[in-house]
Every structure is written in C-alpha cells, then in structure tokens.
Amino acid sequence: MHRFKVWAPNKNRVDLMSDERQTPMARLERGWWEASDAAAGPGTRYGFSIEGAQTRPDPRSASQPDGVLGLSQVVDHDLHPWTDSGWRGLSLPGLVLYELHVGTFSPEGTFDGVINRLPHLGELGIDALELMPVAEFSGNRGWGYDGADFFAPHHAYGGPAGLKRLIEACHAAGLGVILDVVYNHAGPVGNFLGEFGPYFTGRYRTTWGATFNFDGAGSDEVRRFVVDNALMWIRDYHIDGLRLDAVHAIVDQSPLHILEQLAAEVDALSAALHRSVLLIAETDANDPRLVRNRDAGGYGLDAAWADDWHHALHVALTGERTGYYEDFGAPELLGKALRQAWVYDGVWSPHRQKTRGRNPIGVPPERFVVAAQNHDQVGNRAAGERLAAMVDEGRLKAAAALLLTTPFTPLLFQGEEWAASTPFQYFTDHADPGLGKAVAEGRRREFAAFGWNPAQVPDPQDPGTFERSRLDWDEVNEPYHRGMLKWYRDLIALRRRLPAVAQGVWVQVEGDRIAFERESAGVRVNLGPPGRTVVEIVERA
Amino acid sequence: MHRFKVWAPNKNRVDLMSDERQTPMARLERGWWEASDAAAGPGTRYGFSIEGAQTRPDPRSASQPDGVLGLSQVVDHDLHPWTDSGWRGLSLPGLVLYELHVGTFSPEGTFDGVINRLPHLGELGIDALELMPVAEFSGNRGWGYDGADFFAPHHAYGGPAGLKRLIEACHAAGLGVILDVVYNHAGPVGNFLGEFGPYFTGRYRTTWGATFNFDGAGSDEVRRFVVDNALMWIRDYHIDGLRLDAVHAIVDQSPLHILEQLAAEVDALSAALHRSVLLIAETDANDPRLVRNRDAGGYGLDAAWADDWHHALHVALTGERTGYYEDFGAPELLGKALRQAWVYDGVWSPHRQKTRGRNPIGVPPERFVVAAQNHDQVGNRAAGERLAAMVDEGRLKAAAALLLTTPFTPLLFQGEEWAASTPFQYFTDHADPGLGKAVAEGRRREFAAFGWNPAQVPDPQDPGTFERSRLDWDEVNEPYHRGMLKWYRDLIALRRRLPAVAQGVWVQVEGDRIAFERESAGVRVNLGPPGRTVVEIVERA
C-alpha cells in the first residue's frame, strides 16, 4: 500500500495512474489531492493525470528511471539502512571544497564511479565534495542546471540508491557532501510543474526562463516545494550542505524572503538531527544580507560565493580583460580581493554600469567561498579550457598557493589539482532535436559576438563534447601532473597547520608582485613574464 | 546666467533649447551634459533636444507652467526668503495626520485655497497636513498618482511659489506638512524620462506600468533622481515628511534597497538641517523591515501604513465582505487590528491565496498609520462614497472614537471630521482623448466585474466628477455636521491628554461589542442594528 499526494489547486479532477490502474484522487485542503493504492509500493511506476490530460510525472517524484519524460517511481527513503550514524556534518572554518560533475569525474560517469575515486580525494586532503546538480534533467548528459524533477537524483548517475551509496562512502571516508541545487528557475524540458499549479510567475524576468512564484497567489505551496526539497536532501540523503545556485536571480518581495525561510527551516532540521548542515549561496550581487545572522536582519546562510576573488586573480594571471574581466586588472583590486573577497562592495562597476555590492564588514572570512577555477569559469569559456591551458606551471602554482592559504573557504574544481589537460565544455542531451539545435546555435551566436569562430565552439549536443570533458585519470601519473598534485596536497597539508579561523591577513600587491601573509605562513609571488613566475611559500614555526 | 545640467547617457548630442536659443551642451562624466546660458535666469522657459529630436521638458524641471507637455521654467529656490527658521519639524508620537487633496479641499482648488482653511484645521487640532501628490501630472484635475515631472509642484495648484506659501503658512500656524510622493512608477502622459536614459526596466511588472530601474545598468542615476527628489522637497520646500506611495510595488534587488538609501540620506539631511523629517511608507506587504532600524537590518523608515486596521473596522461597521474585505469580518480580527494594526502578520489570506505579512514584534505603535477613511478607501469605490454615506451617525462616531484614541498614528481624510456629504471620486484630465476614454472605460469595466451598472460609475474625465468631489464648506454649519465636527475636536483634545507613546492597550471584541482601554481613557461601542449604535467614552482623572 502506498499513499500518493499531489498539489494541483483549482483543478476539477486528478487521477493517479499507477501501472495499469487509474484511481480518482480525493480533494484535500488548499489544493492537495490524495489517493491510496493497495498494490503500490517501492518500485511502482506512476504519474498523475489532471482533468483527463496526458499522464505526467509527480512534481515531487523521488525517482525518474526513464528520464524527465517517463513515469515516476515510488521510493521509500525510510527503508534505507544508514551506516553513518556517527557522522556530525561539516564545520565551515578551515573547510576545503572540491567541486565535481558526476558524469565526467570518473570513467563510469556515475555516483559509484565517484566512490572509486574517493581514495584520491582523501589523499588530496579536501574536506567535502560539492556535487554539481544531480536533480533529474533532460537526457543523459548535462551540467544539471536545467533540472525538471527536483526531488529525483539523475537516473544516469545511479538514481536514489546510487546517491545514498556515494554519501555513505564519503562519510565513511571522513568526507562531507554538498549538493548544488537550483531554485532560481526550472529547466525547459520535462518541466510540467505549471500544469499542476501556479509554480511560476511572469512578474519577474530572468535570463533562464520560468521563475518560481515565491510571492504571489499560491506561493505558500511553491515555497514549500523548494524548502521541502532542501529538507529532503538533508533528511533522506544525509547531505551535509547545499550550494544554492545563482540566488541573485531569485526574486521574492515577501516580508520573509524564501532564502531566510529556507535557512531557518534547515537550521531547525539540523538541530533536530544533531548534524551540522551548511547553506552556501552562489551570488554575484555581493549582498552581505545573505550571510548576516537573522537577528541582525540577515537571511542567516552560512557562506556566499565571491567570484570577484577569481576574476581579480584570473586577470592578473592571464591578462584577459574582455567581458566581466574589464572590471578587474588594477593591482589594488587584486589586493582588495585577497583581503576582503568581494572587490565590488558598493563601488562603481564599469562593466555593469552601476554601483555593485555592499560592504561585508564584520562578516568572518570563512563565510566567503573562493576559487581559482570552477565549473562556470572554466565551462563558460567558448572551448571550456582550464586555466592550465592558458598559463604556465608557475602561474598555476601561484594560484594554488594563494587559494589554499586564503582565510576564505577555497573550492577546487575536479582535476585542477593535477592541472588536468581535459577541458570542461558545455554539454547537453536534449531529446527534442529543435531545442538541441537552438541551444547549440545560441551558444555559437553568443561566442561569435565575442569574436569566436563559430566552428571552434563545441556543439553542446554532440556526445563528443561530453566525452572530451571527462577527466583523464591516466595522466595523473605523468611527471608534470604528479608534480602539480603534490603541490596541491602539500598546500592543503599546510592549510591544516594554519588556524581554522584566520586572525587577519597582510597583503601587498605591486605590479607583478604579490605578497600575502597570515599567522604562520606567507606566499610571495613574482608573476614575471610567462615561464618566469616565482612562487615562494614561507612557513614559520 | 544659469547653468543647465541633464543626464542623458549614451547620446551623441544634447541641445539646450531656451527661449529662442539653441545651445549645444558639453558632455560631462557618466552621461551628464551641461550648458550655461548667460541670458537665462529665474522664469526662463527651456527644454532639451536629444540628438535633434523634439524639445522635451527637463526631467528635473522645477516648474511646468503649461503642464506636462509644455516647457520647463527655471526656479531659483535659494532666492526664497523663508520665515520659518524656528520650526523644528514633526515628532511621530501623538501625531494626528490630515490627508487632503489640494484641488478639491477648497473652493479655490489651490495651495492658497488651503491656506484660507488653516484656521479650521487649527481648531480641529490636527498636527500635520498630508498632501496628496502635487508633482506635475497630466491636465488640471487629478489625484496626482500619475505624476510626470517629479520636481515640479502642479501649475494648477499654484506651482513652486504657491507650495512654499502654503508650507510657510502651515509652519506659522504650528502645522507640519507631509507630502505624498510616488516612486513606484511614472504616469503615462508627459513622461519623457525614457527618452533621456534607462529610467525604467522591463524586468519587473507592476499594475501601473513603467517601473523604475533601481538595480540595472544606469541605476545609480535613477536612484539619485528619486533620492534627490525627496531631498529637494525637504531642503527647498521645508517639507516635514514624505508619504511614500505603495512601496510594495517598488522592486529593487540591490544589496542597498532604494528605500534604505532614501532613509539614510534623508536622515543625514535632517540632521544637517536640525529639523525632524518623517518618512512614512504606504505598503500592503506588512513588512516590518520597512520600519526596523538600519542597524537591525531594516530600512529605517519612520512609519508604515496599516490598511488592515481600516478593513477590519470597515467590515464591522458596514458588513461589506466583497473584494479584499473577504479577509476581514471575524470579531477577533478587529481585536487584532486594534491591538497590533497589522492583522496579516504572517497568516494565510484567503483573498490573496497566500501567507501575508510578518509579525512586527517590537515595533512601537506610533510607527503604524491607521485611518477609518482615506483617499483610497473612499475614492476607489465605484461612486467614491464616504463612510458617512453608508452608515449612521453612531457608527461614524464609533469609528472616530477608536481612531483618535488608538496608540497608532491616526490619519483623517478631508471632510471626514464633519461627515462631509460630498463623495471623493476618481477624476482625471488627460488631454489625449484616446487615453481619457480608455481610463473611463477601464474603470467602468473594472466595476462592472463587481456587479456595478456601468452607468453609475462616474466618468473620470468629466469635469463634473471633479466638481462633485470638492468639499462643500457651507454644510459645516448645519447641525448634523457641526455636531460631528465637535465630536472629532473633542476626541483630538482627549488624545492630547493621553501619553504620546502608549504603554499598551486592552481590547475586547465580542460580536457587536467593542471595548478598548488605554492609560486614562476607554471606548466602549455596542454597534447594534443601524440607528442603535451606542458609543461611550470614558476618561479617568
């Protein structure tokens, strides 16, 4: 016996379609419907038909074995015999994050494939994996930011059971798992939410299409959808934290912002579970309200991204000044990034043609997540080339040294630790040939505007684009890559010897020379011309 | 000699057109242009031509003698010989506000007409006038919420000099002046701002059309436009406060919300002027962030409207339950309104189909502005009928008693104090016949949806609609109206004997009976059937 529930307000009839059976659902309060099916249980395939229309997957489907267009499958999370009862979660100070994409991290491209590589991560010394989105998205290959079934781990990665195995294996290995979740929009394919209820609004427009209705009529249940999704990952998958994608694209005019509600409910669950859970916002707004405490009028998230740190460093290393890099380049801006993470803290941005950000005074340094590379900064380049394809060994080592001694929370991107030669390109697998073509052409057009030859922009739909982006683990044994890996391991080991909460830093940037000092360690860099970079790491007893 | 400046970014040429002269303007930093005209001075008519296009009024025009489509006129505010140097502004606790519409308040329909009636207001005992918007709007008649020239007092009211005379007369009479300003949109007629720069955005949609670009490219100057407007009323007109229209319709995703910036800059000017200035938000969001202090993450406005107080009382008095009144009616909701002002403080609203508001715990009572009648609640009825046209004398007296003993800040609407028989209808004067017709038809359609006979909905464009809405001062001498006026005067006098900051109230509502107690006074009401209302006011020594 299984009880099915679905929210579909203002509808006259909803039917449960399970296996060959059609069961009319009973109307509950505030737009909810319910039905029981004596023959259903874990593994049962089902969907819902609204007023006789085509059967659709459950908006809260826990599993989509056949993808976003297939039926949902019943999962009983309570049946999983967890083995990590001693695990208490992650603590922010001192944390080193490692971002990975399940599909390209391992040869297998699955959650189990990640498990096979945990020894490498353990030896590297990182504290937590940060998985790019795993919620069911269109097709078998994709970055994951166009999710359609928010509650279902992707079938091609191994589904619910696979994700649970990965998290147990991580916890057994002393590693936490942070999951990237996308609450600023839903993907274009397989997204039937709008057929069920007022999940989306046309009042606010964003870059990526359908934005959630967090503050209009019916928004209570839309908010619950998102908050319950977060709570599910934590409760049913033992996830240690969530990386909230692009929160600057979430518009909510309610007195209780959805992010504040989310943080308050996650904190309450975390307390009930006696397990620490981190909420990390990706933002380009540089808004300290995100990470301020709720009793100071903040939302109470644990940390926020600081892309400015990346941009200031990237420009110093590469000399690139196109696009948003035009806002960086002056040595004093790199100094400010190394000191404060957010360079744009209420100052004029030429690229955005407005004053950007706000001063985060009083926010502890570990609340900023910084990276020298991440999936966006690599993958959003036309050919998805890593920093290692652009600069020499010395500059890569300089970047690593500054990243891993920072008082902020550093994030590595899969393969960065050995200067992987594989790119990370933009790939999709939309079954709809029209959409697939549109995505490919859109991307070519976008980069053509920046002077790229369209033929050099990989086709996202081409399986080869995905394959090229897979890590080549064989190269780790080559001397150059082995040397780089040692550099990263040694730096993480050095970081372990530093205080978890930094007491302050001293930074000086003069032309090509960067000097960075904190408690018992210092980094001195002379970038010099290509091939002549000098990096010196000083550790005091 | 006069120096002209205008913001027109990304234009190739801007010309100053003054009298018969055309002067090319010089490009300054960040989109500003400048020109001097030796022959110009106070009184000079001028406009700007962008890249040779038709001459438009100055976006910051101080005076539009010929209306929104005419030329601007130079005004030198510094030449005005102010006579109110001893005036120190208003203090919120104990304040009684009086909302008036300049065009219909007096037979003259001007600022000077208001001056003639100040003795009446002085005897009534109110503390401050709250002027409905005076910024230049289309035509000669209008409520003012569709303003086009934000810096220019309406020519039909008496322009800049007239407004200054009124404010000086008020200050001399010990009365403050609060001005209603509209920063959530600009009117449809005479609004040429978009031709000058990116004043508006299409990213957010509101009910009233063009919304300001407070957070996109170019938004710094748009924010300055609004903030400078507020500062101008305070500095150049000695305004004592601003009533910010419908702030829930302002969308700003910046880390520094435009309302917080506004409040901080107004507070700084207020301190520099040694004169108190109040900022009062009209809002239906019931968001305590508006009035919380900035060091607690609030915006630091002084007060916010509480329409819930009106609605709960109105439903009790009239039994109406249509439209948004469906959310009121239960006696406990009236009790909650009398105790807390905001009934919807984070609870489910059937009318809005969402949870509305947030608990304002800790916000002092004087920070809520409440009314038994105001221009919206009267004027947005199809026929603009006042409460006095709907209920009997006893109920009117009950409303007044509850309003004027409240710990919140009460607001009266012009004529309420004598139960004026004149309606306050919706009137416009759009020169464009197409727009005028569209407004009239739109209004008829809107009310037809509520079951009104379209023929009974007054035509906003008809001058008779405006004339009908003018107060009839002759009726004040009739016994019924004289008696009501005495009731209001006596209640305001009683209010003066109560502590300015209430120490708490005791409220009981049971069916038709309302008991309200505070420090040394109490109000007991038994509404009973029409004509049988009993109101008792108790004052203890």
Rg of chain B's alpha carbons, rounded to an integer?
A: 23
Is residue B247 within 8 A of residue B282, CB to CB? The reply is yes
Strands (DSSP E) along A171-216, which ranges? 176-181, 200-201, 211-212
Q: Is the pLDDT of residue B209 over 80?
A: no
Residue B248 tokens read as 């829930």
Q: How many CA atoms lie within 13 A of A199 on its CB side?
A: 23
Rounded CA-CA distance A363/A59 in Å is 38
Residue A392 tokens read as 């020499």
Q: Closest to B358 (Cβ–Cβ): which among A217, A255, A357?
A: A255
Q: Is the pLDDT of residue B449 over 80?
A: no
Q: Is the pLDDT of residue A450 over 80?
A: no
Residue B203: its chain A contacts at CB < 8 A? 204-205
Question: In this predicted model, what pLDDT tens digit does every residue of B466-510 receive, in sequence order?
Answer: 999 999 999 999 999 999 999 999 999 999 999 998 888 999 999
Q: Is the pLDDT of residue A313 over 80?
A: yes
Determine the Cα angle at B201 with ends B199 and B204, to 5°: 140
Is residue A57 within 8 A of residue A149, CB to CB? The reply is yes
- The interface residues of chain A toward chain B in range 247-266, judged by CB-CB distance below 8 A, are 248, 251, 253-256
Q: Is the pLDDT of residue B373 over 90?
A: yes
pLDDT at site B439: 83
pLDDT at site B172: 98
Q: Is the pLDDT of residue A52 over 90?
A: yes
Question: In this predicted model, what pLDDT tens digit does every residue of B411-446 receive, in sequence order?
Answer: 999 999 999 999 999 999 998 878 888 888 888 888
Residue B289: its chain A contacts at CB < 8 A? 255, 297
Residue B189 exposed, middle or buried by CB count within 10 Å (0-12, 13-18, 19+):
buried
Catalytic residue positions of B?
A: 245, 282
Provide, rounded to the nearest whole percent, the portion of chain A with pLDDT above 70. 100
Rounded CA-CA distance A506/A272 in Å is 41
Rounded CA-CA distance B419/A56 in Å is 60
pLDDT at site B526: 97
Rounded CA-CA distance B320/B329 in Å is 8
Q: Do B358 and A288 touch (CB under 8 A)?
A: no
Query: Is residue A13 less than 8 Å (CB to CB) from chain B?
Result: no
Q: Do A346 and B215 touch (CB under 8 A)?
A: no
How many other C-beta atoms can be found within 10 angstroms of the C-beta atom of residue A480? Answer: 13
Residue B358: its chain A contacts at CB < 8 A? 255-256
Q: Is the pLDDT of residue A451 over 80?
A: no
pLDDT at site B456: 84
Rounded CA-CA distance B167/B190 in Å is 27
Q: Closest to A248 (Cβ–Cβ): which among B253, B256, B286?
A: B253
Q: Is the pLDDT of residue B451 over 90?
A: no
Q: Give the residue carrying structure tokens 């960040």.
A: B30
Rounded CA-CA distance A298/A291 in Å is 6
Q: Closest to B357 (Cβ–Cβ): which among A251, A255, A357?
A: A255
Q: Do A203 and B203 touch (CB under 8 A)?
A: no
Query: Is residue B538 less than 8 Å (CB to CB) from chain A?
Result: no
Our CA-based measurement puts residue A32 at a distance from the nearest CA of chain B, in whole angstroms, of: 14
Our CA-based measurement puts residue A138 at a distance from the nearest CA of chain B, in whole angstroms, of: 27
Q: How many CA atoms lie within 13 A of A321 on its CB side?
A: 6
Domain range list for chain B: 2-79
How far out from the chain centre does Cα A374 lie? 10
Provide, rounded to the nearest whole percent, the portion of chain B with pLDDT above 90. 91
**How many contacts does A have with B, using Cβ atoms within 8 A?**
76
Residue A216: closest C-alpha in chain B:
B354
Q: Closest to B204 (Cβ–Cβ): which among A204, A216, A217?
A: A204
pLDDT at site B47: 98
Domain with residues A102-305, CATH architecture? Alpha-Beta Barrel (3.20)
Determine the Cα angle at B432 with ends B431 and B435, to 5°: 120
Question: In this predicted model, what pLDDT tens digit does every residue of A256-300 receive, in sequence order?
Answer: 999 999 999 999 999 999 999 999 999 999 999 999 999 999 999
Rounded CA-CA distance B146/B189 in Å is 8
Q: Closest to A354 (Cβ–Cβ): which among B218, B288, B353?
A: B218
Amino acid in position B348: W
Question: In this predicted model, what pLDDT tens digit does every residue of A397-423 receive, in sequence order?
Answer: 999 999 999 999 999 999 999 999 999
Query: Is residue B203 less than 8 Å (CB to CB) from chain A?
Result: yes
Rounded CA-CA distance A76/A58 in Å is 15
Q: Do B255 and A219 touch (CB under 8 A)?
A: no
Rounded CA-CA distance A342/B331 in Å is 52
Rounded CA-CA distance B375/B97 in Å is 13
Is residue B403 within 8 A of residue B370, CB to CB? The reply is yes
Residue A288: its chain B contacts at CB < 8 A? 255
Rounded CA-CA distance A471/A484 in Å is 16
Amino acid in position B399: A
Q: In which band, very low, low, confident or very high, does the pLDDT at A455 lie, cut at 50, 70 and 90?
A: confident
Q: Do B346 and A203 touch (CB under 8 A)?
A: no
pLDDT at site A436: 82
- DSSP H stretches of helix in A178-218: 193-196
Query: Is residue B293 less than 8 Å (CB to CB) from chain A?
Result: no
Rounded CA-CA distance A372/A379 in Å is 13
Domain B2-79: CATH superfamily is: Immunoglobulins (2.60.40.10)
Q: What is the mean pLDDT of chain B?
A: 96
Q: In which band, very low, low, confident or very high, does the pLDDT at A375 lie, cut at 50, 70 and 90?
A: very high
Our CA-based measurement puts residue A308 at a distance from the nearest CA of chain B, in whole angstroms, of: 16
- DSSP H stretches of helix in B17-126: 102-105, 111-116, 118-124
Segment A236-248 shows an average pLDDT of: 98
Is residue A145 within 8 A of residue A56, CB to CB? The reply is no
Residue A56 tokens read as 């659709």
Q: Do B298 and A297 touch (CB under 8 A)?
A: yes
Q: Is the pLDDT of residue B35 over 90?
A: yes
Q: Do A255 and B287 touch (CB under 8 A)?
A: yes
Q: Closest to A289 (Cβ–Cβ): which among B255, B292, B358?
A: B255
Q: In which band, very low, low, confident or very high, does the pLDDT at A240 lie, cut at 50, 70 and 90?
A: very high
Is residue B310 within 8 A of residue B377, CB to CB? The reply is yes
Rounded CA-CA distance B259/A279 in Å is 28
Q: Closest to A203 (Cβ–Cβ): which among B204, B216, B217?
A: B204
Q: In which band, very low, low, confident or very high, does the pLDDT at A184 lie, cut at 50, 70 and 90?
A: very high
3-class secondary structure for A381-411?
CCCCCCHHHCCCHHHHHHHHHHHHCCCCEEE
Our CA-based measurement puts residue B220 at a distance from the nearest CA of chain A, in whole angstroms, of: 6
Q: In which band, very low, low, confident or very high, does the pLDDT at B455 lie, cut at 50, 70 and 90?
A: confident
Q: Do B216 and A292 touch (CB under 8 A)?
A: no
Rounded CA-CA distance B318/B98 in Å is 23
Is residue B307 within 8 A of residue B284, CB to CB? The reply is yes
Assess whether A245 carries a catalytic annotation.
yes
Our CA-based measurement puts residue A63 at a distance from the nearest CA of chain B, in whole angstroms, of: 30
Nearest to A131 by CA among A154, A107, A161, A148: A154
Q: Output phi, psi for B248, to 5 deg.
A: -65, -15
Residue B21 exposed, middle or buried by CB count within 10 Å (0-12, 13-18, 19+):
middle
What ipTM, to 2 d.p.?
Answer: 0.95
Is residue B53 within 8 A of residue B67, CB to CB? The reply is no
pLDDT at site B229: 98
Determine the Cα angle at A117 with ends A116 and A121, to 5°: 145
Rounded CA-CA distance B315/B43 in Å is 52
Long-range CB pairs of A253-257 (<8 Å, 24+ gap) are A253/A215, A253/B248, A253/B251, A253/B285, A254/A214, A254/A215, A254/A219, A254/B285, A254/B287, A255/B285, A255/B286, A255/B287, A255/B288, A255/B289, A255/B346, A255/B357, A255/B358, A256/B346, A256/B358, A257/A299
Segment B154-176 shows an average pLDDT of: 98
Residue A10 exposed, middle or buried by CB count within 10 Å (0-12, 13-18, 19+):
exposed
Q: Is the pLDDT of residue A449 over 80?
A: no
Q: Do A204 and B255 touch (CB under 8 A)?
A: no
Nearest to A282 by CA among A109, A133, A121: A133
pLDDT at site B431: 84
Q: Which residues, in sequence order, are CB contacts of B343 under 8 Å at separation 6+? A: B308, B309, B311, B312, B327, B328, B333, B336, B337
Segment A141-161 shows an average pLDDT of: 97
How many other C-beta atoms can be found within 10 angstroms of the C-beta atom of residue A523? Answer: 25
Highest mean pLDDT among A432-436, A501-505, B372-376: B372-376
Q: What is the mean pLDDT of chain A?
A: 96
Q: Is the pLDDT of residue B163 over 80?
A: yes
Segment B140-154 shows an average pLDDT of: 97
Q: Do B255 and A346 touch (CB under 8 A)?
A: yes
Secondary structure (3-state) at B339? helix
Q: Do A357 and B255 touch (CB under 8 A)?
A: yes
Q: In which band, very low, low, confident or very high, does the pLDDT at A432 lie, cut at 50, 70 and 90?
A: confident
Q: Do B348 and A296 touch (CB under 8 A)?
A: no
Which residue of the set A245, A327, A376, A416 is catalytic?
Answer: A245
Segment B324-334 shows an average pLDDT of: 93
